[in-house]
Amino acid sequence: MEFVEIAKKAKNAALQIADLDTEIKNQALNAVADNIEKNKDKIFEANKKDLQAAEALVNSGEITKSTFNRLKLDENKMRDMVQGIRDISKLDDPVNKKLLVRELDEGLTLYKISCPIGVLGIIFEARPDVIAQISALAIKSANAVILKGGKESINTNKTILSVINSALEGIKDFPKNVISQVFTRDDVAEMLKCDKYINLIIPRGGNSLVKFIKSNTSIPVLGHADGICHIFVDESAPLEMAQKIVTDAKTQYPSACNSVETLLIHENFPYKKELMAALELADIKLIPNPESWAHEYGDKILAYKFVKNTDEAIEHINTYGSGHTDSIITKNTENAEKFMNKVDSAGVYFNASTRFADGFRYGFGAEVGISTNKTHARGPVGLEGLTIYKYKLIGNGHIVTDYAAGTKQFHHKDLI
């Protein structure tokens, strides 16, 4: 089927799901979670095929080791994937919420109401669990979605989507074609041109993928190119806390976009040697003078720099950071407040690991990705980030002429 036909069907599905009852959406989500759990061995078997093929791609240098790691599904990822879907079913419906109710005049009331965006085009690399996360978020937020995964995870992607759609087919009144999938580079090229039917593109992948998409489409793009995350160890930082947080942020999942890449240390921090020794014991390779301060390693490699004060740390982050997530470790609440106010990132943390920048950990159930955009949605994007709003105006024969002539006046009274 040509891509434009898939997009037309998705647009039609988006119009149908837009006013679907919350109860039916939740029923669909729980059916999807049950079916994934029921078919997990089938999914693991498909993932095993992809991993075997990917080993050769790693050896030939076509994909990195970090990409290979993201590709792998295990029991923990499967558990989180299923739990994420169930959590989304328990969240409030983000659609048809009253964001503003304003009486413009007697009998003339304006409502600002949340509504779905429409059709989402998702282009992602490696991570097959993305399909379940995004499908679940799309269902709950009443959007249709067209997914394009990387070739390295094609067997897993096909199997997971088949399991999802077989569950949805059993839900009465749930529209067809809400979740669809394409596979080729030609499909990507067509998706990026399809502004008549697709409302938002969300890339999940490396810098080159995101830059390519932003340069080749007129459709709005939500996402981030780099995950250059920083931790600043202030002069008063407790040593044990600094060791724990930095180690977690670098080693818990080094290939994640919220893994720390640069460590900034106050030059008067009294435990510099002890901190560095502890990090090296955790198998972290420390680099004092990197070729670039804006490099995402995706591995147990950490660039570091000594700075004079909080202001210098903030300046470094705002110069070289990617606007993702940055953290300060300190006992000084004034420095922490300054850091969090002045660092221009989607996530600014105080005494916490950057690895918390995640929709599941934020209680969003899951996320479609992390956005470093300054408009619409920022940080981990969950249900609210997949809605927009419309204005509903309810009157009783009201006309502008009366107000232009001065026979009637607006009183703009907020009711909520």
- Give residue 363's pLDDT: 86
CA atoms within 13 A on the CB side of 321: 29
Is the CATH number 3.40.309.10 carried by domain 229-356? yes
Taking a C-beta distance cutoff of 8 angstroms, is the pair 326, 343 a contact? yes
Task: Give one DSSP letter per residue of 172-230, joined into a string.
Answer: TTPPTTSEEEE-SHHHHHHHHH-TTT--EEEEES-HHHHHHHHHS-SS-B---S---EE
- Give residue 168's pLDDT: 98
pTM, entire model:
0.86
- Give residue 26's pLDDT: 98
- Give residue 231's pLDDT: 98
Dist CA 86 CA 84 (whole Å): 5
Burial string for 39-63 (b: 16+ CB within 10 Å, else e) reads bbeebbebbeebbeebeebbeeeeb
Taking a C-beta distance cutoff of 8 angstroms, is the pair 272, 368 a contact? no
Q: Count CB-CB contacts under 10 A for residue 15.
A: 14
Cβ-proximal residues to 387 (8 Å cutoff; 6+ apart), any chain: 94, 95, 114, 115, 116, 117, 141
Residue-by-residue pLDDT tens, the chain, 416 positions: 899 999 999 999 999 999 999 999 999 999 999 999 999 999 999 999 999 999 988 888 888 887 888 899 999 999 989 998 999 999 999 999 999 999 999 999 999 999 999 999 999 987 888 899 999 999 999 999 999 998 899 999 999 999 999 999 999 999 999 999 999 999 999 999 999 999 999 998 777 888 899 899 999 999 887 899 999 999 999 999 999 999 999 999 998 899 999 999 999 999 999 999 999 999 999 999 999 999 999 899 999 999 999 999 999 999 999 999 999 999 999 999 999 999 999 999 999 999 999 988 998 878 888 898 888 899 999 999 999 999 999 999 999 999 999 999 999 999 99
Closest alpha carbon to 179 in 264, 120, 225, 219 = 120
- Give residue 59's pLDDT: 87
Dist CA 43 CA 157 (whole Å): 9
- Give residue 157's pLDDT: 95
- Give residue 223's pLDDT: 82
The sign one gets for the Cα dihedral 65, 68, 70, 75 is negative
- Give residue 375's pLDDT: 84
Q: Count CB-CB contacts under 10 A for residue 370.
A: 26
Q: Count CB-CB contacts under 10 A for residue 187.
A: 19
Class of the CATH-defined domain 3-205+383-390: alpha beta
Name the 3-class secondary structure at 287.
strand
Sorted by where each begins, the domain ranges of the chain are 3-205+383-390, 229-356
- Give residue 96's pLDDT: 96
Strand partners, 200: 120
